[in-house]
Amino acid sequence: MTTKRTLGLAVAQMGPVHLSDTRETVVRRLVEMMRDAKGRGAEMVVFPELALTTFFPRYWMEEAEAEARFFEAAMPNAQVQPLFDEAKKLGVGFYLGYAERTPEGTRYNTAIIVDRAGAIVGKYRKIHLPGHSDHKPDAPFQHLEKKFFEVGDLGFRVFDTMGTRFGMCLCNDRRWPETYRVMALQSAEVVVLGYNTPSLNIHWNEPVHLRTTTHLVSLQANAYQNGIWVAAAAKCGSEDGHHMIGSSAIVAPTGEIVARTLTEEDEVICVKADMSLGEHFRQHVFNFAKHRRPEHYRLIVERTGAGEPLV
């Protein structure tokens, strides 16, 4: 019989962060939400992608200016240390997205997992970078992740902390099934992620409602098909006139949304996540060792002439 294990899992959605907002102001908001989450029984709090700044890839600027204004050369640093201190004081772990500049000068869209003692136990650098690197002066805003960030070099890994196996990703990664499958094959139990998703797609005329629909479908389908919990935190609302979707959510291994934000402001949602629920799905429905046959995929591809084998 599977032993029941639970995790107090919270998502701390953020409302807008404007160009004029300081790191200190933003960190105070994060600390306040962490306290709120702790009061609801949270042991792990998920903050958004690029949580410390506005979504700066929407603006055309030189890389040097972006580095000076929006990137973190160390983590933690003096401005963000209060969040780490509060985590240690409360005994709460957290996930945080930020813009990282390495000592060698390489720039990444990065996320970390911090344990209850305030120590970094895992790092991820975004792999699926959306957008473009060239200037599009006729667009209502830019989406310059390919200009400001390098493709992540750490892969999709799983980290053991707080008695749970955590995987993590960032924003556009959530739309790719291999993101979750690679971590599920490493026995991930929970995948945590942050996102900043514009309501307007500058590349094609995508109906606005699809931005939220496809976001939720991606979370739900991958949670179910991999037997994992998924916790996704938005930074949303109108940042200096540029709107981003909310709909932060916690999804169970059943594919059901068990908590979802109602606003586009700072808002905390929290559930007691039953880890044994995912174990049931991984043992009896999606038992990779028992039922998954990659060699058959190869045969299908080869026999149909559908291109190079996938596995």
State the catalytic residue, choosing from 72, 86, 147, 171. 171
pLDDT of residue 306: 53
Q: Residue 185 pLDDT more than 60?
A: yes
Record: fold of 6-304: Nitrilase/N-carbamoyl-D-aminoacid amidohydrolase (3.60.110)
What pLDDT score does 303 carry?
64
Q: What is the DSSP letter of 113?
A: E
pLDDT above 70: residue 269: yes
Question: Can you list the positions of beta strands (E) in the chain?
Answer: 6-13, 44-46, 93-101, 107-114, 120-125, 158-161, 164-170, 190-195, 229-234, 237-239, 242-244, 249-251, 257-260, 267-274
Extents of the domains making up the chain: 6-304
Cα–Cα distance for residue pair 289/170, rounded to 1 Å: 28
Catalytic residue among 38, 43, 100, 126: 126
pTM for the full predicted model: 0.94
Other CB atoms within 10 A of residue 187 CB? 15
Q: How many CB atoms lie within 10 A of CB 87?
A: 24
H helices of 187-274, where?
A: 208-226
| Three-class DSSP category at 112 | strand
Please indicate whether residue 171 is annotated as part of the active site: yes
pLDDT digits (tens, 9 = 90+) for 20-46: 999 999 999 999 999 999 999 999 999
Active-site hit among 49, 86, 145, 267: 49
- 49 catalytic? Reply is yes
Q: Say if residues 159 and 165 touch (Cβ distance below 8 Å).
A: yes
